[in-house]
Amino acid sequence: MELIKVGDKTYYLKNPTNIGIYKVDDKSVYLIDSGNDKDAGRKILHLMEDEGWKIKGIINTHSNADHIGGNKIIQDRTNCDILTHQIEDCFTSYPILEPSFLYGGYPFKDLKNKTLLAKESSTIPLKDNLPEGLEYFSLKGHFFDMIGIKTSDDVYFLADALFSEETITKYHLFFIYDVSEYLKTLDYLDTLEGKLFIPSHASATTSITSLVKLNRDKIEEITNKIYQICSSGKTFEEILKTIFDEYNLTMNLNQYVLVGSTVKSYLSYLADTGRLGYTFKNNEMLWYQL
């Protein structure tokens, strides 16, 4: 992790999942997310100790395991508050909900890995209780009630609202819970003006215009691809396999549930916008073009 100062009170830790830091006074800080596991949490604690800072609270942008994985060890050692927003509060307090939701049933042992299942932490619902100098805003789409954080230094932490060109080029599909809300979030991001923007999985930048377009274009591409795959009736498993084959992706358990859930979200979006229908034939659910 690399500590980078980007404002009078605003810092971030450059990391596979970028972590925000906001100084509320000379000795106290709030974190924006906590990394993917206890090792990340341990590194954060050491870095804060080196700086002489006490962690007063953690603001979780959403409840995916790579954003809340450091919560428990940090909270256990500092007794800090953890602020979470609406449904994300439930998933953070009871993280078994994430692999259960992704799998669509009780998750078997191999699904209870650190990518999908964080440790439980004690949370406080986020309302009007942010420290002075911070404000939150809705970034729905990637997950249920994801938020971003703006600091008094005009720095925006954008959580998983945008993915990097490298990620999109390599994997093509990135996790989306609600495609319609994600597109609305991209429209909202296009209206923002700020000093610096820090997505969780992309480099900090002074302009997000091209990245917003890249993410929007990929969503349109995936939407059209799934629509074309359904030119004749296809099962979900057939659609998923075709997506992996055409993008030369390799299936594993985590990809099966993460990409699989995302493909189902695209199918819902196409159905709700009147482009796909479904039927049952020989005890199989088939998706087809309308």
Q: What is the mean pLDDT of residues 210-214?
A: 97
Calculate what percentage of the chain has a pLDDT beyond 70. 100
pLDDT category, 50, cuts 50, 70, 90? very high
Give the pLDDT score at 4: 97
Burial 1-10 (b: 16+ CB within 10 A, else e): beeeebbebb
Answer whether residue 187 is part of any domain.
Answer: no
* CA distances to 71, 159, 189, 192 from 35, in Å: 8, 12, 24, 26
What is the span of the domain harbouring residue 266? 221-289
Please indicate, yes or no, if residue 118 is contained in any of the structural domains. yes
H or E element that contains 65: helix 65-68
Sign of torsion over alpha carbons 274, 144, 129, 5: negative
CATH, residue 94: 3.60.15.10
- With respect to residue 57, please indicate whether it lies within any of the assigned structural domains: yes
229 lies in the same domain as 136? no
d(CA 81, CA 71): 10
Quote the tokens at residue 92: 């953070």
98-142 pLDDT, tens digit each: 999 999 999 999 999 999 999 999 999 999 999 999 999 999 999
Domain membership of residue 151 (yes or no) is: yes
Asked if the structure places residue 172 within a domain, the reply is no
Model confidence at 254, pLDDT cuts 50, 70, 90, reads: very high
Quick one: 122 and 227 in the same domain?
no
Calculate the average pLDDT of the chain: 97
**Residue 8 lies inside a defined structural domain of this protein:** yes
Structural domain count, the chain:
2
pLDDT, average across residues 27-51:
97
Cα 233 to Cα 132, 136, 261, distances in angstroms: 55, 43, 19
Model pLDDT for residues 140-198, shown as the tens digit of each residue: 999 999 999 999 999 999 999 999 999 999 999 999 999 999 999 999 999 999 999 99
* Residue 239 within a domain: yes
